[in-house]
Amino acid sequence: MLEVFELQCFVQNYLWGKKGSASEVSRLSLAGQHLDSIDEKQFYAELWMGALHKSPSLVKSSGQKLSDWIKSNNEALGLKSRLKFGDELPFLMKVLSINSALSIQVHPSKDYAEELNKKFPKLYQDSNHKPEMAIALSNFEGLCGFRPYSEIKFFLKEIPEFQNIVGYEVIDKFKKDTTDSQHLLKEIFYKLMTSEKGIISQNVGSHKRKLQSLCDDKKNVFLAKLFNQLDCWFPNDVGCFCIYFLNYIQLSPGQAIYLGANEPHAYIYGDCIECMACSDNVIRAGLTPKYIDVETLCRVIHFNGAPAESKLFCGVEENSYTTLFRPPVPDFAVACIKVPADEVYELLKRDVASIIIVINGQGKITAPQDLMLSPGKVFMIPANVVIQIQVGFESLELYQAFVNL
């Protein structure tokens, strides 16, 4: 029988990450020996756990790429996974530490990802879809999905800069219409996102000045702090206005959101566990120095409005210690496991391979072999291997990602 083994994982130093020891990524990476030291001037944005070809995890004892180990030990994936995905690990788990907003973006469906890759291989180098899920480790902020139409209509009415940018006529139609709201919203959003930079810059400045004059309650209604923060990170960017179209979501630790195909979103601040299908397919529209493709984004994006609370993705209890987050895709699921101090606990048996990361606490795996558990340590568990854990003097928190079959 194949045994559990520790992984050496890679850190990504994107500029939107948190700096130095303020980053959860750096804390876990140093503790788990994925880093030798922390540079307080460096950004620590992501810790990658998986076999994605760009930065595959390594078998710690040998330095072998996890992807190569899987090729030689494909039975570790489990029969169901191999029948569905072949001899590859189809998911990537990450820890993210976000200090400034990521781009406003969507991920295309599998079919459309293949089409984009075929037509524009230099821009869209990946043919896979990229559904993803974020589970908050700290207070977490993001934009996710279009607001209810009533909320968007309120902002369009109360913020005259929108009339300056997209015109009164289409806004008036949208405010009155109840039968073709999606089409009209698409027209408004497209006009906004494709407006000349000079017009956007002028109206961002105008709106900032008006926000400064509001009382505190009004400032909260119009998300003045968020608007100003986004403008600080991305001066005069059209994405600043997107907060009045997309739901602003604040997650507490343990809460999650799931982002399926064509769902507009942007992470803003906080730390999270993220899990996704192995892909790098992103269509961007704002809050980024990278390539922006508004035409493609508006072609695929979902323009249906829904309240912020509907975007929360709830886990289900598998047992008293395990909460399972199981999205509507086969590529991945994530279990959050919290075991009290001094407990002996057997992880639920999975018939597919899984990766676990320890977030907090101490303990050890006592079967099938002895391995120490401490923050930042990452392990590969082959399919059908039963793991027994002895928890130390403080409770143990870990996350386990695996194929959702």
Smallest Cα–Cα separation from 97: which of 324, 359, 323, 280?
359
Residues 24 and 137 in one domain: yes
DSSP 240: G
Residues 164 and 267 in one domain: no
Give the C-alpha separation, 256 to 105, whole Å. 18
Q: What is the pLDDT of residues 237-294, one digit of tens each?
A: 999 999 999 999 999 999 999 999 999 999 999 999 999 999 888 999 999 999 999 9
| Inter-residue contact 17 to 97 (CB < 8 Å) | yes
- Does the residue 287 lie in any domain? yes
Residues 105 and 65 in one domain: yes
| Inter-residue contact 90 to 268 (CB < 8 Å) | no
| Inter-residue contact 160 to 121 (CB < 8 Å) | no
Give the side-chain half-sphere CA count within 13 A for 189: 32
| Inter-residue contact 285 to 299 (CB < 8 Å) | no
* % of the chain exceeding 90 in pLDDT: 91
Q: Which residues contact 388 (CB under 8 A, 6 or more apart)?
A: 344, 345, 346, 347, 365, 366, 367
Tracing tokens 């006009």 back to the chain, one arrives at: 191
**Would you say the C-alpha torsion 67, 71, 72, 75 has a positive or negative sign?**
positive
Residues 107 and 256 in one domain: yes
Give the C-alpha separation, 145 to 143, whole Å. 7
Residues 134 and 278 in one domain: yes
Say how far residue 293 (Cα) sits from the centre of its chain: 20
- Does the residue 155 lie in any domain? yes
Smallest Cα–Cα separation from 249: which of 313, 185, 304?
313
Q: What is the pLDDT of residues 141-153, one digit of tens each?
A: 999 999 999 999 9
Indicate if the pLDDT at residue 219 is higher than 80: yes
Give DSSP secondary structure letters for 72-96: H-GGGG-HHHHHHH-SS--EEEEEE
Residues 339 and 394 in one domain: yes
- How many domains in the chain? 3
- Does the residue 301 lie in any domain? no
pLDDT band at 177 (very low <50, low <70, confident <90, very high): confident
> What CATH number is given to the structural domain containing 358?
2.60.120.10
Boundaries of domain holding 189: 150-242
Residues 28 and 125 in one domain: yes
Residues 119 and 59 in one domain: yes
- Does the residue 176 lie in any domain? yes
Residues 195 and 103 in one domain: no
- Does the residue 238 lie in any domain? yes
Q: In what order do the strands lie in the sheet with 371-373?
A: 344-346, 388-391, 363-367, 371-373
pLDDT band at 167 (very low <50, low <70, confident <90, very high): very high
Q: What is the pLDDT of residues 58-67, one digit of tens each?
A: 999 999 999 9
By annotation, the residues acting in catalysis are 284
- Looking at residue 207, its pLDDT comes to 97
> What CATH number is given to the structural domain containing 160?
1.10.441.10
Q: Which residues of 352-386 are buried (b: 16+ CB within 10 A; e: fewer)?
A: bbbbbbbbebbbebeebeebebbbbbbbbbbbbbe
Residues 129 and 186 in one domain: no
- Does the residue 310 lie in any domain? no
SS3 content of the chain, % helix, strand, coil (to 5): 30, 30, 40
- Does the residue 259 lie in any domain? yes
| Inter-residue contact 9 to 57 (CB < 8 Å) | yes
Give DSSP secondary structure letters for 270-316: EEEEEEEES----EEEES-SS---HHHHHHH----B--GGGGB---E
Residues 236 and 269 in one domain: no
Type of residue numbered 174: F
Residues 266 and 231 in one domain: no
- Does the residue 384 lie in any domain? yes
* Beta strand pairing call for 46-50 and 10-12: antiparallel
- Give the end of a domain, one of 295, 328, 356: 295
pLDDT band at 25 (very low <50, low <70, confident <90, very high): very high
Give the C-alpha separation, 46 to 149, whole Å. 35
pTM for the whole structure: 0.96
